[in-house]
Amino acid sequence: MGVGDVNVRFSPRELLDLGAAWVALSVAFSILLIPGLQLVSVPEAVQTFGLSFVTVGVAFLLHELAHKVVAIRFGKIAEFRADYGMLFVAIMGAAIGFLFAAPGAVYHQGRSTLKQNGLIALAGPVTNLVLAAMFAPLAFLASGFLASIGSLGLTINLFLAAFNMVPFGPLDGSTVKEWSTPVFVAVFVPSAALALWALFGLGLF
C-alpha cells in the first residue's frame, strides 16, 4: 500500500509475524487483566481479549509500523520479525502475574545517517503519544466499555512511549539520545511524566 510517497509492502512472513505478535500480546494482557486467573464466562473472556486487542495490540502494531514507514521513507529495506520465544515468555509470565513483552522488532538494512536512525527510532514512541491523545477523549468522556478502552489505551500508550524512550540497550531512547540529546530530553521527560500521571495519579491501570 502507498503512504504518501512511501511504498510500504509486507511479505507473507512479515504479516504472519505481525499477526502472531498482535494476538499473543493481546492474550498475555488479557490473562493479566483477569485477577488470579479466576474462571470467567466466555462473554467476559471475549470482552477482555477485545479490550486488549484494540488497546495493547494496536499500540504495539502501530509503534512497529511507524519504525517501518520512516525507515522506508529513508530508502531502507525494513521488515518486522517476531520473537516467538519472547511471545511465549510474555504469555507464561502473564499467567503468574508479570508481563515482560519483547515481541520482536523492525529490522532495517541500508546506509543511513545518525539523524535518520534517530528519527526511525523516535517514530515509535511519538506514534504512541499520538495514540494516547486519541484515546484520551474516550477515557474522560465515554462510559462503560468505551471508557475502559479509552483508559487502557491512554495508559498503555503513555507507558510504551516512556518505556521505549529509556536510554538503555536496544530501546529507542538509546538511538535517539545518540543522535540528539535535546530531542531525547524533549520527548522522554514529558512522556515519563505523563506515564506516571496516568499510572498513579489517575489510577487508570
Please tell me the distance from the alpha carbon of residue 94 to that of residue 118, in angstroms, as a whole number.
32
Q: Return all residues near 92 (Cβ < 8 A) that are at least 6 apart.
A: none
**Strands 6-7 vs 2-3: parallel, antiparallel or unpaired:** antiparallel
Of 44, 64, 79, 178, the catalytic one is: 64
- Say whether 64 is catalytic: yes
* Cell numbers that stand for 66 in this block: 511507524
Q: How many beta carbons lie within 10 A of that of residue 166, not counting itself?
A: 15
Amino acid present at 202: L
Contacts of 6 (CB under 8 A, 6+ apart): 69, 72, 73
C-alpha span between 93 and 99 (Å, rounded): 5
Residues serving a catalytic function are 64
